[in-house]
Structure 1
Amino acid sequence: MRFALSGEQEQFSHSLNDLLSDVDTDSANRAWAEGDPGPGLKIWRRLAELGVTALAVPEKYDGLGATPVDLAVGFERLGYHCAPGPWTDTVAALPSLLDDELLTSVASGETLASVAYAPHVPYALDSDVADARLAVENGRLRAFTPGALLSSVDGSRRLFPPVAGDDLGTALDADRAFELGCLATAAQLLGAGRWLLDTSVAYAAQRKQYGREIGGYQAVKHLLADVATALTLAEPLLFGAAVTLDRRDVSAAKVACGDAAHLAARTGLQVHGAIGYTAEHALGLRLTRVRALVGAWGTPRFHRERVLS
């Protein structure tokens, strides 16, 4: 069986790439980490105009009713450009949790959501700026308020312990919401890994040691080739999981994309050398984002156990 993205999906990816290439996501991430969501929300609204926030929302709520494959396409680009904000919670998970008019404002980009999903998503992402806050417990929904801000390896992913509030009833499809959250996280990891590879290749072509570009050395070529191979092998697992949405397939994709992105991060730091450690370099934002996403929506151990179960 041969799988390929449709022309519309390819165009959607290109449109996202063009938009995000024209905005400063790095500055928006740094501002978001400091508690200033303004620049990030401007990017959110621009992406909403492109239909990103409406992807998984049903058509009856002015959404696009898109497939999980469409979600994977979009989130791969969000991961590549390191877009700040609770994208997974709002766009991937929330539409499967409830059947409510609230989704109309989600589709338009007016409402941001923060979702806690015990035990695998114990802390709520960006709930200080979210308009809708939902905790999933044993298939039921609860409202929550955010506790004190926690320390995070990725400062632009602001995490809060959820303080349980009113019971809101049974979730529409809690299992599907979780699988879509995992899938979206895997897609972001794949995108982040691709950015790290592209940036490392470009840097290796210009950085010189002993009178020649380091990209010309066999050892560096092998490092970068290993990353390219890992990302290439992870991609079909991601889109295969998007087609089936089977729990084992989703977990396999999450593990593969996480491993590939982690390899890309480690290799990127080796290629960049000391400059990669500086807070000013864009590499650092992706390194911390990868570290955070590897454990988000289920740890690697949890997902490996699901694959083997």
Structure 2
Amino acid sequence: MRFRLTVEQAQLRDAVRDALGRRASNGSSWLVAPRGGAAHGHSPAPLDGDVQAGDFKIRLDRGLWRALGELGFFSLRLSEGDGGAGLRLPEAVLAFEEAGRALVPGPLVASHLAAGVVPGAAEGEVVVAAADGRIVEWMDEADVVRKGAEGAVPLKSVDPLTPLHRVPAPARTDPVAVLLTAAEQLGTASRACELAVQHARTREQFGQPIGGFQAVKHLCAQMLVRVEVARAAVYAAAVTQDRADIATARLLADEAATRGGRDCLQVHGGMGFTWESEVHLLLKRAWVRAQRGGGGTESEELLAADLVA
């Protein structure tokens, strides 16, 4: 099986990355606000709202959502006759990998899956939330809440930029949602690795870059290995669409994102925890995503059942 991207796939990946980069640099608020503190235009998390002392008051950036709709992010897999791009799951995985790399907030997976079913979702005019396992993301900001999220109650989120609700009974897991989550985790893991290497090359201690120390070298090398192993698994699962392959990709991507986030924090030291840095947000978002769709336990059980069979 070949894992090299086609020219068209590489162009799609670059287009999504460029679009998100332009959105961050032309006046949109990539806001982070500490509890009880002032907002900073630094984080790659696009929000639009006010910060109240002692808490967060955040709103989804509707301009960003419409821009994603115009880019075709939500309608990638719709047929051309239905107004989509007529692409396949591998191309959607590339787009979601870039969204995870940029820490784009909002119910991306739910809105993508609703395209063609919920009017306006494909164009980014409607924000859709849905139960994913036991959680619902951005429920209060959604224009449409899909069936299964009834009775959800607010849940304190470890990630201050991802509002959560908990549903009383777990919703059915969609394998496509699991794979797209894995793609987001892959993007976040890749970004964490990039930041760690960049910091290791520039931060100096005892007269030399910290990347010259063996312990830091090992952390960065292990991060890269986990990212590339997860990338191969995610891309392969997008091609085969086999449930066992998707479960494998999910587990590897979760590990790459969560362990990569922790290791990136280790490389950065105390500054990685500050609101001027995006490093801690990478880890917090990875923790939240790891709870989607039943979490890793469901994927482990699926793989175990597959092996027994």
> Could you say which TM-score interval applies, normalised by the shorter chain?
0.7 to 0.9
Question: What is the aligned partner in structure 1 of residue 155 from structure 2?
Answer: 150
Which residue identity does 1:127 align to in structure 2?
M
**How many Å apart are 1:48 and its aligned residue?**
1.7
Out of 147, 171, 196, the residue aligned to residue 135 of structure 1 is: 147
Q: Indicate if the aligned counterparts of 1:182 and 1:298 stay in contact, CA closer than 8 A.
A: no
**How many Å apart are 1:113 and its aligned residue?**
0.8
Q: Indicate if the aligned counterparts of 2:233 and 2:245 stay in contact, CA closer than 8 A.
A: yes
Q: Indicate if the aligned counterparts of 1:94 and 1:115 stay in contact, CA closer than 8 A.
A: no
Cα deviation digits, residues 251-274 of structure 1 (max 9, x gap):
100000111112211110110000
What is the CA–CA distance in structure 1 between the aligned matches of 2:296 and 2:56, rounded to whole Å?
29
Question: What is the aligned partner in structure 2 of residue 282 from structure 1?
Answer: 278
Out of 205, 210, 217, the residue aligned to residue 213 of structure 2 is: 217
What is the CA–CA distance in structure 1 between the aligned matches of 2:291 and 2:3, rounded to whole Å?
29
Q: Indicate if the aligned counterparts of 2:130 and 2:137 stay in contact, CA closer than 8 A.
A: yes
What is the CA–CA distance in structure 2 between the aligned matches of 1:112 and 1:216, rounded to whole Å?
47
Cα deviation digits, residues 187-232 of structure 1 (max 9, x gap):
0000000100101111111111111110112221111011101111
Out of 110, 118, 134, the residue aligned to residue 125 of structure 2 is: 110
Out of 56, 61, 68, the residue aligned to residue 34 of structure 1 is: 56
Alignment of 1:61 onto 2:78:
no
**How many Å apart are 1:56 and its aligned residue?**
2.6
What is the CA–CA distance in structure 2 between the aligned matches of 1:12 and 1:224, rounded to whole Å?
28
Question: What is the aligned partner in structure 2 of residue 20 from structure 1?
Answer: 20
Structure 1, unmatched stretches of 5+, are 137-143, 165-173
Alignment of 1:234 onto 2:230:
yes
What is the CA–CA distance in structure 2 between the aligned matches of 1:297 and 1:147, rounded to whole Å?
15
**How many Å apart are 1:279 and its aligned residue?**
2.8
Q: Indicate if the aligned counterparts of 1:234 and 1:257 stay in contact, CA closer than 8 A.
A: yes
Q: Indicate if the aligned counterparts of 2:179 and 2:249 stay in contact, CA closer than 8 A.
A: yes
What is the CA–CA distance in structure 1 between the aligned matches of 2:160 and 2:79, rounded to whole Å?
33
Out of 181, 185, 192, the residue aligned to residue 189 of structure 1 is: 185
TM-score by length of 1: 0.84
Alignment of 1:258 onto 2:251:
no
Question: What is the aligned partner in structure 2 of residue 5 from structure 1?
Answer: 5
- Alpha carbon RMSD of aligned pairs, Å? 2.3
**How many Å apart are 1:2 and its aligned residue?**
1.9
Question: What is the aligned partner in structure 2 of residue 249 from structure 1?
Answer: 245
> Aligned residue pairs: how many?
282
Structure 2, unmatched stretches of 5+, are 32-44, 50-54
What secondary structure sits across from 2:140 in the alignment? coil
Q: Percent identity?
A: 30
Q: Which has the higher helix share?
A: 1
TM-score by length of 2: 0.84
Question: What is the aligned partner in structure 2 of residue 200 from structure 1?
Answer: 196
Pair 1:30–1:130, CA change in 2 (3 A): closer
Q: Indicate if the aligned counterparts of 1:124 and 1:146 stay in contact, CA closer than 8 A.
A: no
